[in-house]
Structure 1
Amino acid sequence: MEITTIDTASVAERDRLDFWRSTVCDQFVTLDVRPAAGSDVRGRVTAVSMADTQLRKIAAGAHHFERTTRQVRTADEDYFQIALARKGRTLVAQDGREAVIGPGDFVLYDSARPFRFVTAGDFEYSVCLFPTRLLPLTRAELTAATAVRFDGRSGVGAMVPPLLAALHRLDAESLPPASRTAIMQSIGDVYVALVRSRVDPASSPNLHLLRAQAYIDEHLSDPALTPAQIAAACAISVSYLHKLFSETDTSVGAYVRERRLQACFADLARPDCAALTVGAIGARWGLPDSAHFSRAFRARFGVSPSAHRARSVG
């Protein structure tokens, strides 16, 4: 895995501001980059990539970074990101919330919506950019977890600093494709754990919803699975079933489709499923129409099932 370091010291002083702004936008996402020092900017970015995951270290003086609505609308890819503070203090704002992080703290933030970072002085971050399309999380879940300070020294947050440190040292090119895919899935699992740790502990889960989700997971292979069948198995009305899922910012059909596509995504990357055709994997998870499965998979993950398999298992 090639490591690239970009430093403003490598260009003439008169060119540094434009060079720095271009570097930050190229290596992260498009942003308004306003260093407090003006044209006399000093900054360094170290970049590592592994499959669809982008890992970055950035160090510079006091800055104001802001992603605008216009920049969001023109983006080719959305990333859900972790920013771990190594040095300095930073105000992070998104989705109507503000958090201040210092060394050892981190925040989650979403490139699909405007955000703002304001540093109090010199800073250093480790940043992980993970494609949002690969996360089995609802928009409501993602929004609830942004601009919230996580402590990287305790609880579920303690997983993040050693994970990012290890990824920066990992020689991914020496690993088999299936191993790289497994690492990607593990990173995604950490994101899911972080986001879902933000659920209000005072709000108890609806047992009817949990039963419905469990029934769906047990019957994903049935292409004829319907809301009426799910509701009957849970001894509730179809209208109440729809109400339960709408309260989680999704629908019954969307939940079933997401669970099926996630199962297919995992199986296509498994070496022990290599003997199965793409169509067979779709069928085993309740998607027997190969053309429909391929379209739905590409729409969800931005790549065809066969291309995902080739990239994952070689």
Structure 2
Amino acid sequence: MRGDRFEAGPERLQFVGRDGLRRINGTTRFTPQDPDAFQAEHRRLELTDCSFESLRVSACSGTIDAQPSTQREQLHLGTLVAGRSAWRTGKRTHDQQRGAVHLLRGTDAVEFDWAQPVHLLTVRIPVSAVPAHLLADGVLRSGVLARTPLTNGFSGFLHQLAAGPVVLDTVEHGHLDRALRALANGVLAVAAAESQVADDDLRYAIHDYIERHLLEPGLDPTRIASALRVSVRWVHQVFNHDGESVARFIRHRRLDLVAEALQADPRSSGVSGLSRQFGFGGRDQLTRAFRSRYGMTISEYRDRVRDSAPLPDRLPAPDERVQDRAIG
């Protein structure tokens, strides 16, 4: 393997064959097709807060464990200089091509498959150096980031850092550390904005799917996730940003349609018929849900419509009063 041109400062380790495979395996485990042909080179440059790493490795698959608690307060921003990387975090699959930038957290467990030799460059940045609003739940997700001029610039900067000699005095050491932190935070800020746009698009798609299938039995987060080809966890995370769950939203929309049907024709079908018409699991389920939503029974609501009496406002329906799973 051709070595990088680091001339001073960085740690350099090489791993060849079965013995090298044994030595390199740890929290990251490599599984090559031919252990005797395994080759890897790892170079690391420690700065004040950040660290910069270069990893060259022959074709293999493997896993990366979630890091020990002492290391979890780090974010990893990396780029693929050579090869192509297929990898998985949780239920999300990623396909990373050359020049793309990815984000990983110390808490991520990763499965990877490299069908050809790869060269990865990574900056590790402590969360203490990242603006707090970027670390809030749901703001940033692990994965391959959308390509932007800034991610392209970040990738190019790391490539040049790996290709050029690194001979740093104390002042330059500090300058490089601050430059990497500023650039990494810029990439994270843009990624957060891109993620928000993607979340807004998904939120609209979820609402649209619910409205088109609202009266169908079995409409639930699992079915929505399958139809939109995303994980159930992501559906919940994106939809629940304002505190209302998917299941509760579906139930409330159905109850509002029941109320509108009663207002349009108080002689409409009985509770059992309304239950079937509006996607509830049965008479009792609709009765309990309606009382929780409007503070009265369907019969009492129907009587108010007939008498032209004021209709009740919708009441908040906490989860403990009507379980989210009871949506039909």
1:132 to 124, 127, 130: 127
Q: Is 1:186 the equivalent of 2:182? A: yes
Give, as a single letter, the amino acid of the residue that structure 1 aligns with 2:74. Answer: Y
The 1:49–1:198 alpha-carbon spacing in structure 2 relative to 1, beyond 3 Å, is same
What residue is the counterpart of 2:310 in the other structure?
none
User: Given that residues 32 and 60 in structure 2 are in contact (C-alpha distance below 8 angstroms), is that contact kept between their aligned partners in structure 1?
Assistant: yes
How far 1:55 moved relative to its partner? Answer: 0.9
How far 1:39 moved relative to its partner? Answer: 4.4
What residue is the counterpart of 1:54 in the other structure?
51
What residue is the counterpart of 2:19 in the other structure?
15
User: Given that residues 51 and 180 in structure 1 are in contact (C-alpha distance below 8 angstroms), is that contact kept between their aligned partners in structure 2?
Assistant: no
The 1:196–1:176 alpha-carbon spacing in structure 2 relative to 1, beyond 3 Å, is same
What residue is the counterpart of 1:89 in the other structure?
84
Unpaired runs of 5+ in structure 1?
Answer: 205-245, 250-314
What residue is the counterpart of 1:165 in the other structure?
159
Give, as a single letter, the amino acid of the residue that structure 2 aligns with 1:155. Answer: P
How far 1:161 moved relative to its partner? Answer: 1.7
Q: Distance in 2 between matches of 1:90 and 1:177?
A: 31
Aligned residue for 1:36, secondary structure, equals coil
Aligned residue for 1:145, secondary structure, equals coil
How far 1:122 moved relative to its partner? Answer: 1.2
> What is the aligned-residue RMSD (CA, Å)?
3.1
Q: Distance in 1 between matches of 2:122 and 2:174?
A: 24
The 1:78–1:32 alpha-carbon spacing in structure 2 relative to 1, beyond 3 Å, is farther
Give, as a single letter, the amino acid of the residue that structure 2 aligns with 1:3. Answer: P
Q: Distance in 2 between matches of 1:3 and 1:183?
A: 18
Aligned residue for 1:186, secondary structure, equals helix
Q: Distance in 2 between matches of 1:35 and 1:149?
A: 27
User: Given that residues 99 and 149 in structure 1 are in contact (C-alpha distance below 8 angstroms), is that contact kept between their aligned partners in structure 2?
Assistant: no
User: Given that residues 82 and 127 in structure 1 are in contact (C-alpha distance below 8 angstroms), is that contact kept between their aligned partners in structure 2?
Assistant: yes
The 1:180–1:157 alpha-carbon spacing in structure 2 relative to 1, beyond 3 Å, is closer
Q: Deviations over 1:82-115 (max 9, x none)?
A: 2211111111222432221122222111121222
Give, as a single letter, the amino acid of the residue that structure 1 aligns with 2:185. Answer: D
What residue is the counterpart of 2:98 in the other structure?
103
Aligned residue for 2:144, secondary structure, equals coil
User: Given that residues 95 and 146 in structure 1 are in contact (C-alpha distance below 8 angstroms), is that contact kept between their aligned partners in structure 2?
Assistant: no
User: Given that residues 92 and 147 in structure 1 are in contact (C-alpha distance below 8 angstroms), is that contact kept between their aligned partners in structure 2?
Assistant: no
Identity over aligned residues, as a percent?
Answer: 11
Aligned residue for 1:140, secondary structure, equals coil
Q: Is 1:145 the equivalent of 2:149? A: no
Matched pairs, number: 193
User: Given that residues 16 and 40 in structure 1 are in contact (C-alpha distance below 8 angstroms), is that contact kept between their aligned partners in structure 2?
Assistant: no
User: Given that residues 95 and 147 in structure 1 are in contact (C-alpha distance below 8 angstroms), is that contact kept between their aligned partners in structure 2?
Assistant: no
Q: Distance in 2 between matches of 1:67 and 1:96?
A: 15
Unpaired runs of 5+ in structure 2?
Answer: 1-7, 202-239, 244-328
What residue is the counterpart of 2:224 in the other structure?
none
- Equivalent positions of 1:162-311 (< 5 A) are 162-168=156-162, 169=164, 170-175=166-171, 179=175, 182-201=178-197, 203=200, 247=241
How far 1:158 moved relative to its partner? Answer: 1.6
Q: TM-score, normalized by length of structure 2?
A: 0.50
Q: Distance in 2 between matches of 1:248 and 1:49?
A: 41
User: Given that residues 47 and 174 in structure 2 are in contact (C-alpha distance below 8 angstroms), is that contact kept between their aligned partners in structure 1?
Assistant: no
Aligned residue for 2:153, secondary structure, equals helix
Give, as a single letter, the amino acid of the residue that structure 2 aligns with 1:195. Answer: A
Q: Distance in 2 between matches of 1:178 and 1:50?
A: 7
Aligned residue for 2:188, secondary structure, equals helix
Q: TM-score, normalized by length of structure 1?
A: 0.52
Q: Distance in 2 between matches of 1:155 and 1:14?
A: 41
User: Given that residues 89 and 101 in structure 1 are in contact (C-alpha distance below 8 angstroms), is that contact kept between their aligned partners in structure 2?
Assistant: yes
Q: Distance in 1 between matches of 2:241 and 2:191?
A: 18
Q: Deviations over 1:140-167 (max 9, x none)?
A: 245x43113443xx43322212321354
Work out which of the two has the higher radius of gyration on C-alpha atoms and give 1 or 2: 2
Q: Distance in 1 between matches of 2:40 and 2:178?
A: 33
